[in-house]
Amino acid sequence: MNANKRKSFRLLAVTLVAASLPAAGQWLKYKTPGIPRTADGKADLTAAAPKTPDGKPDLSGVWRGDPGGYGVNVAAELKPSEIQPWAEKLYKQRLEDLGKDAPSYRCLPQIGPYTTFGMFKILQTPSAIAFFSEFNGSRQVLTDGRPLPEDPNPTWMGYSVGHWDGDTLIVENAGFNDKTWLDVGHPHSEELHVIERFRRKDFGHMDLKMTFSDPKIYSRPFSIDVELELVPDTELLEYVCNENEQSVKHFVITEQDRKQNRPNAKVAPEILAKYAGIYEMKNPEDPKGKPIAIWVLTEGDQLLMQMSGAGPKIPLAAQSDTTFSLLGGTVQFATDDRGAVTHFTMQAVEGDFKVARKGDLPPAK
């Protein structure tokens, strides 16, 4: 499968939707054996989590992870003062450039732990747990008791070792080069250390907490929470990033593009307040599945978006009273003839997405 059509959309996609579009085919619809099923034959995703013969939780299966807003700002829980000024400046610059220089847009790998974003498969064996990704190759977490190497040759994906703490798999990662980006722009150094904690709550759901420490750049560790969902009765697609590569030459940001992504209008707070609320869109990857909830919030004279009311709040740049820019895309609010906000339309390279207003935000605590 060619990767390039995903690239231009990636920046928006990482914020709002996991970007893998399944194609239909018999291989992809083959019923995964060994999955507990309800009376109607559907996978019972709330059945108990399985165990391996040696009594450990068995994490095997095809999973999907979506970093949500963390894909835009992985370090959202840090204050700017807790980030080295040069790194904060670099992040802002890369954001303004819409991530055009991202190594992953040039078919280079992301860090090993990010193999859990998008569709991936876990294969568990006693000495190694392998992660097969659609976009990030493969990665193995060695569970044969070895420690992390002390002075390794730096790699893109890093070195990973795992051990069990009760029912939680703890994976330690180190030995990274300093070339990958942690989101659309946050850099890291060779001292980056990542701890992942995987806990399979039931058959269909797994909690993942990733904690990053990199004292050369970030004054304290920070974490993100990712919910992983089992995807039954399907398979991974082959992803060959370099095949028929035509995209890189189009990664050009003009002054006009930069200008369009900055605030170019001042919108009265009472107008912004009308937009606040809970919105829903169909999951383009799974139109019949659970819709994607997007919260629109205000802070002072700033409009922000947040996935399902959790994770980072992503600022929108006002262009007019009704139109806002979001990472290269456009968000346009619509009202009915009485002036009530009905929905917003999100325009991206992939097309227009209608996101309907569902209700008010819960009262602030």
Q: Which residues bind other proteins (CB under 8 A)?
A: 1, 23, 25-27, 30, 32-34, 50, 52-53, 58-61, 106-109, 121-125, 127-128, 130, 132, 137-138, 140, 142, 144-146, 149-153, 155-157, 159, 236-238, 240, 242-243, 245
Q: Considering the complex, state which of residue 106 and residue 282 has its C-beta at the smaller distance from other proteins.
A: 106
**Kind plus residue range of the DSSP H or E element containing 65:** strand 61-65
The CA–CA distances, whole Å, from 357 to 68, 137, 341, 351 equal 19, 38, 7, 19
Q: Considering the complex, state which of residue 160 and residue 323 has its C-beta at the smaller distance from other proteins.
A: 160
Q: How far, in Å, CA of 118 to CA of 133, rounded?
A: 8
Three-class DSSP category at 273: helix
Q: Considering the complex, state which of residue 121 and residue 343 has its C-beta at the smaller distance from other proteins.
A: 121
Q: Considering the complex, state which of residue 65 and residue 68 has its C-beta at the smaller distance from other proteins.
A: 65
CB atoms under 10 Å from CB of 281, counted, come to 18
Q: Which residues of 28-37 are buried (b: 16+ CB within 10 A; e: fewer)?
A: eeeeeeebee
Q: How far, in Å, CA of 202 to CA of 230, rounded?
A: 10
Closest approach of Cβ 179 to other proteins, in Å?
A: 9
Closest approach of Cβ 27 to other proteins, in Å?
A: 4
Q: How far, in Å, CA of 229 to CA of 304, rounded?
A: 27
Residue with tokens 């291989």: 27
Q: Considering the complex, state which of residue 105 and residue 218 has its C-beta at the smaller distance from other proteins.
A: 105
Q: Considering the complex, state which of residue 76 and residue 237 has its C-beta at the smaller distance from other proteins.
A: 237
Closest approach of Cβ 184 to other proteins, in Å?
A: 20
**Neighbouring residues of 329: CB distance < 8 A, sequence distance ≥ 6:** 12, 346, 347, 348
Q: Considering the complex, state which of residue 3 and residue 346 has its C-beta at the smaller distance from other proteins.
A: 3
Q: Are 264 and 318 in contact (CB under 8 A)?
A: yes
Closest approach of Cβ 228 to other proteins, in Å?
A: 14
Q: Considering the complex, state which of residue 240 and residue 268 has its C-beta at the smaller distance from other proteins.
A: 240
Closest approach of Cβ 308 to other proteins, in Å?
A: 28
HSE (side-chain half, CA atoms, 13 Å) at 98: 25
Closest approach of Cβ 364 to other proteins, in Å?
A: 43
Q: Considering the complex, state which of residue 27 and residue 337 has its C-beta at the smaller distance from other proteins.
A: 27
Say if strands 329-335 and 159-165 run parallel, antiparallel, or are unpaired.
unpaired
CB atoms under 10 Å from CB of 248, counted, come to 13
Closest approach of Cβ 212 to other proteins, in Å?
A: 20
Closest approach of Cβ 213 to other proteins, in Å?
A: 21
Q: Which residues pair with 163 in a beta bridge?
A: 170
Q: How far, in Å, CA of 198 to CA of 227, rounded?
A: 10
Dihedral of CA 64/68/73/78: which sign? negative
Closest approach of Cβ 204 to other proteins, in Å?
A: 13
Q: Which amino acid is at 127?
A: S
